[in-house]
């Protein structure tokens, strides 16, 4: 909704002066979008994080928690959060790992599904399946979904890092980065982009733009420029499984 509001051709015709606070959750907001919103409306979007299994909030950036671009805030009252590696060991600030949540907000289990409950809840902690990191102040940054991570020739590529870069491109309105099968590397990085009205670019230009700004194994070799907005779920998230 925020992206659509920012780019709506008739936005200046409407009086939005009564708008005081905007919240967001469910999917990360690109830093470029946050900056544009602050520039145009004079205040920050407050981003939070959570799951249905955490009823549904775990972190927030409202009240005394000031927004940090790229972060979804700090844990709410009654909640603990930590980042662990694949062996369940707690990682220090700045390290990428799986986000675990524990607290009064966490579910007791999945209804009549003990197998799924055992997989998600271990030693009182909810294993979210999200990859994130904490900074020294306790702000959470979501890197991506564990199952969406692309393994290209043995190297881990997190789609959100490349998506953040693509959103900084002046022609890109929407984008998604996915992994596609590759005979030698296992997976290749693919970017799907939808352009702003009146803008034009080519797959070659998008590739070159990314290649100059990230490590060689990360930039998308496959780029698709779409003429229609990317498919979305009922809640407005980009539907990556519909892209290929």
Q: Give 143-150 contacts, CB < 8 A, sequence gap 24+.
A: 143/96, 146/98, 148/178, 148/179, 148/240, 150/177, 150/178, 150/179, 150/187, 150/189
The pLDDT assigned to 4 comes to 87
Spatial contact of 49 and 65, defined as CB atoms under 8 Å apart: no
Residue 64 is encoded by which pair of tokens?
Answer: 């005394």
**12-71 pLDDT per residue, tens:** 999 999 999 999 988 888 999 999 999 999 999 999 999 999 999 999 999 999 999 999
Phi, psi (rounded to 5 degrees) for 2 = -65, -40
What residues have CB less than 8 Å from 244, skipping those under 6 apart? 178, 180
What residue spans define the domains of the chain? Answer: 2-143, 149-242
The pLDDT assigned to 226 comes to 96
Predicted model pTM: 0.86
The pLDDT assigned to 123 comes to 95
Residue 208 is encoded by which pair of tokens?
Answer: 């070159």
CATH number of 2-143: 3.40.50.12780
DSSP conformation class of 44: -
Rounded to 10 degrees, what is the CA torsion of 126, 129, 135, 141? -120
The pLDDT assigned to 27 comes to 80
Spatial contact of 59 and 49, defined as CB atoms under 8 Å apart: yes
Phi, psi (rounded to 5 degrees) for 6 = -60, -35
Residue 170 is encoded by which pair of tokens?
Answer: 């002046």
In a 10 Å sphere around its CB, with 0-12 CB exposed, 13-18 middle and 19+ buried, how is residue 106 labelled? buried
Tokens 């490590």 appear where? 215
Spatial contact of 96 and 143, defined as CB atoms under 8 Å apart: yes
Q: Please provide the distance, in angstroms rounded to a whole number, between the alpha carbons at the two ends of the chain.
A: 24
Question: Considering Cα of 76, then 27, then 70, then 63, what sign does the dihedral take?
Answer: negative
The pLDDT assigned to 213 comes to 97
List of the chain residues with pLDDT < 70: none
Q: Which fold has domain 149-242?
A: GMP Synthetase; Chain A, domain 3 (3.30.300)
3-state class percentages of the chain: helix first, strand second, coil last, to nearest 5: 20, 30, 45
Spatial contact of 100 and 74, defined as CB atoms under 8 Å apart: no
The pLDDT assigned to 235 comes to 83
In a 10 Å sphere around its CB, with 0-12 CB exposed, 13-18 middle and 19+ buried, how is residue 180 labelled? middle
The pLDDT assigned to 236 comes to 86
The pLDDT assigned to 113 comes to 98
């Amino acid at each position: 909704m925020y992206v659509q509001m920012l780019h709506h051709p008739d936005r200046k015709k409407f009086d939005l002066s009564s708008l005081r606070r905007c919240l967001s959750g469910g999917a990360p907001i690109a830093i470029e979008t946050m900056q544009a919103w602050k520039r145009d409306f004079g205040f920050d979007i407050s981003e939070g994080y959570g799951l249905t299994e955490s009823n549904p909030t775990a972190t927030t950036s409202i009240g005394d928690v000031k927004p940090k671009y790229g972060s979804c805030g700090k844990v709410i009252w009654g909640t603990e959060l930590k980042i662990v590696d694949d062996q369940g060991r707690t990682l220090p600030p700045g390290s990428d790992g799986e986000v675990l949540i524990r607290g009064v907000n966490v579910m007791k289990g999945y209804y009549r599904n003990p197998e799924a409950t055992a997989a998600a809840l271990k030693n009182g902690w909810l294993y979210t399946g999200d990859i994130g990191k904490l900074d020294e102040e306790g702000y959470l940054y979501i890197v991506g979904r564990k199952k969406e991570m692309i393994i290209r020739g043995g190297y881990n590529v997190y789609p959100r890092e490349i998506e953040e870069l693509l959103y900084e491109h002046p022609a890109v309105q929407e984008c998604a980065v996915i992994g596609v099968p590759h005979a030698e590397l296992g997976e290749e990085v693919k970017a799907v982009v939808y352009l702003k009205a009146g803008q034009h670019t080519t797959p070659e230009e998008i590739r070159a733009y990314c290649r100059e700004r990230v490590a060689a194994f990360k930039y998308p070799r496959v780029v698709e420029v779409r003429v229609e907005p990317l498919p979305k779920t009922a809640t407005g998230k980009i539907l990556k499984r519909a892209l290929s």
